[in-house]
């Protein structure tokens, strides 16, 4: 964890920014996989980690604005627990390391909240995403399940987003670690891929590295010869000559900062001419988008510029046609690029997504598009120093979508459906890096991971 001062300053600022009442930050609990005691891998809530850093189940943090006091609620281990888990530092000792001196049994939270509510004090909470915490909030605060999101505190959400969006130097150092572990996962997979091997073997290599470095994966591994399926978590295929392998995976460090990289490589040692064409169009869009990044620019504009650049490349191959500015404005490019250019990243791979993308990725000035494709952009607002984001353009050939659009005659002025028929089984290419916005420009985080055709082929050979 960072120093006691870091967490104390974060909580002091949060109390000041929210301005009144009780701020309740619920930690996560263990979740049973197939019965209660056989649990999934534990992942603490990221807001709780950011302000309290205590990486264990069964805790809640309270910031009392008027009393200027922070409290951790949780139960110390009993001797029976210790027989199974071994001795652990007490919650009180751990809380002291992050500057919290008051620790109370978890059940005291009920009376604490009831007293606060009886005095008419606002109780601020974030939108819950786990069912046990939904039940808890419902029972504690009497809010119907269906209203928990709308009753979440907008002032708390905005105050958290304001802090977590700007990564400090010590956070950036952690994120570099996350990206470097993620890079090692990709290099190992790109070295190991070969016709006849299974995707699951590659996914195992990637996960093994993440775990071996003391952390885990930051999100379910996307790794597939069917890269045209954007979030493909199925790893049952055997790789064949002539295919592309798309890997989108990243590490969650022991401090729970995420990396999120994507690389696409041929299953053979070299790209085919056609694979190289598409790969270079995506690479050009990725590199030029990164080169343009600086504070003040909206990420919506960067997204649209990348879409136009890929549309130009597709036109040069005869797959798109017509006025490409109009094509992108109307959303025709989304046949090939049906997702956003990127998102914030930090403690979460989609950073702070639990708080609501309208607060994290958009502003009064930049509203979310309603167009298919562009609507999936998670970050549209103006960039600021300290933001860390992903840049991840891609081109995909999705047979089902091609067939549907063709049968509807959709964007027939911009898409050359006859030529496209021949590309149906191509798959997909995505290339992704994680980038910090600096005072005047940007910096790609982590050590370079082979990315040009020449670099990838050199690694493959
Ligand atoms: N890398 C997975 C995602 O951005 O959703």
- Both structure tokens of 281: 């169009």
Compute how many other C-beta atoms are within 10 angstroms of the C-beta atom of residue 425.
11
Residue 223 vs residues 120, 170, 200: alpha-carbon distances, Å:
51, 31, 8
Atom of ligand 1 minimally distant from the CA of 392:
4
Task: Give the pLDDT score at 25.
Answer: 98
What mean pLDDT is predicted for residues 383-405? 98
Task: Give the pLDDT score at 190.
Answer: 98
Contact 333, 327 (CB under 8 A): yes
When the candidates are 3.40.350.10, 3.40.50.2300, 1.10.1060.10, 3.10.129.10, the CATH number that belongs to 4-164 is 3.40.350.10
Convert the pLDDT of each residue in 332-351 to its tens digit. Answer: 999 999 999 999 999 999 99
3-state secondary structure 36-102: CCEECCCCCCHHHHHHHCCCCCCCEEEEECCCCEEEEECCCCCHHHHHHHCCCCCHHHHHHHCCCCE
Task: Give the pLDDT score at 363.
Answer: 95
Within 6 Å (CB) of ligand 1, which residues are found? 219, 248, 260
Atom of ligand 1 minimally distant from the CA of 432:
1
- Both structure tokens of 189: 């997979």
**3-class state of residue 432 by DSSP:** strand
Q: Given strand 388-391, what is the order of strands in its sheet? A: 388-391, 433-437, 442-444
Using N-to-C axis directions, what is the helix angle for 453-460 and 169-192, rounded to 10°?
60
Contact 102, 70 (CB under 8 A): yes
How many A from CA of 393 to the centre of ligand 1? 11
- Both structure tokens of 58: 């069964």
Residue 52 vs residues 11, 59, 72, 288: alpha-carbon distances, Å:
8, 10, 8, 39
Answer whether 4-164 and 169-460 agree in fold.
no
Q: Quick one: which H or E segment has residue 175?
A: helix 169-192
Contact 247, 263 (CB under 8 A): yes
Task: Give the pLDDT score at 5.
Answer: 98
How many A from CA of 352 to the centre of ligand 1? 14
Q: Quick one: which H or E segment has residue 132?
A: helix 131-141
Mutation to probe ligand 1, out of 178, 206, 222, 251 (largest number of atoms < 8 A from CB) = 222
Going by pLDDT thresholds of 50, 70 and 90, the confidence category of residue 26 is very high
Contact 432, 262 (CB under 8 A): yes
Distance CA 191, CA 455 (A): 12
CATH code of the domain occupying 169-460: 3.90.230.10
How many A from CA of 21 to the centre of ligand 1? 36
Q: Residues of the chain with pLDDT > 90: what percent? A: 100
Mutation to probe ligand 1, out of 232, 350, 352, 388 (largest number of atoms < 8 A from CB) = 350
- Cα 286 to its chain centre, rounded Å, is 18
Convert the pLDDT of each residue in 85-129 to its tens digit. Answer: 899 999 999 999 999 999 999 999 999 999 999 999 999 999 999
Distance CA 169, CA 66 (A): 31
Distance CA 406, CA 1 (A): 54
- Both structure tokens of 268: 């053979």
| Cβ-proximal residues to 263 (8 Å cutoff; 6+ apart), any chain | 186, 189, 190, 247, 431, 432, 449, 450, 451, 456
Closest residue by Cα to residue 26 from 124, 101, 102: 124
Task: Give the pLDDT score at 210.
Answer: 98
Task: Give the pLDDT score at 343.
Answer: 98
How many A from CA of 288 to the centre of ligand 1? 20
Domain ranges of the chain: 4-164, 169-460
Task: Give the pLDDT score at 113.
Answer: 96
How many A from CA of 229 to the centre of ligand 1? 12
Going by pLDDT thresholds of 50, 70 and 90, the confidence category of residue 330 is very high
* Whole-prediction pTM: 0.96
Distance CA 189, CA 201 (A): 9
How many A from CA of 390 to the centre of ligand 1? 9
Contact 15, 23 (CB under 8 A): yes
Convert the pLDDT of each residue in 247-291 to its tens digit. Answer: 999 999 999 999 999 999 999 999 999 999 999 999 999 999 999
Task: Give the pLDDT score at 165.
Answer: 98
């Amino acid at each position: 964890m960072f120093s006691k001062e870091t967490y104390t300053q974060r909580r002091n600022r949060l109390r000041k920014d929210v301005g009144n009442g009780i701020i309740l930050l619920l930690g996560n609990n263990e979740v049973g996989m197939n019965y209660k005691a056989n649990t999934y891998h534990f992942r603490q809530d990221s807001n709780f980690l950011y302000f309290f850093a205590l990486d264990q189940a069964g805790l809640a943090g309270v910031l009392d604005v008027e009393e200027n006091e922070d409290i951790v609620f949780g139960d110390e281990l009993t001797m029976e627990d210790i027989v199974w888990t071994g001795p652990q530092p007490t919650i009180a000792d751990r809380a002291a390391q992050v500057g919290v001196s008051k620790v109370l049994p978890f059940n005291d939270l009920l009376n604490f909240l009831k007293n606060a509510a009886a005095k008419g004090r606002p109780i601020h909470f974030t939108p819950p995403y786990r069912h046990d915490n939904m039940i808890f909030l419902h029972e504690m605060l009497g809010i119907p399940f269906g209203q928990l999101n709308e009753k979440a505190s907008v002032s708390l959400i905005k105050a958290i987003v304001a802090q977590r969006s700007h990564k400090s130097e010590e956070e950036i150092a952690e994120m570099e670690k996350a990206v470097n572990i993620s890079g090692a996962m990709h290099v190992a997979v790109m070295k190991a891929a070969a016709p006849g091997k299974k995707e699951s073997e590659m996914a195992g290599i990637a996960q093994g590295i993440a775990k071996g470095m003391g952390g885990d994966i930051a999100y379910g591994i996307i790794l597939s010869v069917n890269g045209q399926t954007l979030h493909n978590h199925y790893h049952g295929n055997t790789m064949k000559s002539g295919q592309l392998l798309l890997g989108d995976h990243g590490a969650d460090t022991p401090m729970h900062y995420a990396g999120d990289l994507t690389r696409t490589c041929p299953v053979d040692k070299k790209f085919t001419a056609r694979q190289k064409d598409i790969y270079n169009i995506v690479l050009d869009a990725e590199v030029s988008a990164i080169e343009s990044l600086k504070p003040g620019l909206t990420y919506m504009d960067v997204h649209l510029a990348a879409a136009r650049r890929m549309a130009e490349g597709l036109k040069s191959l005869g797959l798109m046609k017509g006025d490409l500015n109009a094509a992108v404005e109307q959303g025709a490019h989304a046949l090939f690029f049906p997702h956003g250019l990127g998102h914030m990243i930090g403690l979460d791979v989609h950073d702070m997504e639990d708080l609501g993308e309208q607060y994290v990725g958009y502003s009064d000035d930049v509203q979310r598009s309603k167009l298919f494709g562009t609507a999936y952009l998670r970050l549209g607002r103006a960039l600021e120093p300290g933001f860390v984001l992903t840049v991840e353009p891609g081109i995909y050939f999705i047979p089902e979508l091609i067939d549907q659009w063709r049968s509807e005659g959709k964007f027939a002025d911009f898409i050359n459906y006859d030529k496209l028929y021949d590309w149906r089984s191509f798959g997909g290419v995505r290339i992704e890096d994680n980038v910090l916005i600096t005072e005047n420009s940007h910096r790609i985080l982590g050590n370079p991971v082979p990315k040009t055709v020449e670099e990838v082929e050199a690694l493959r050979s």
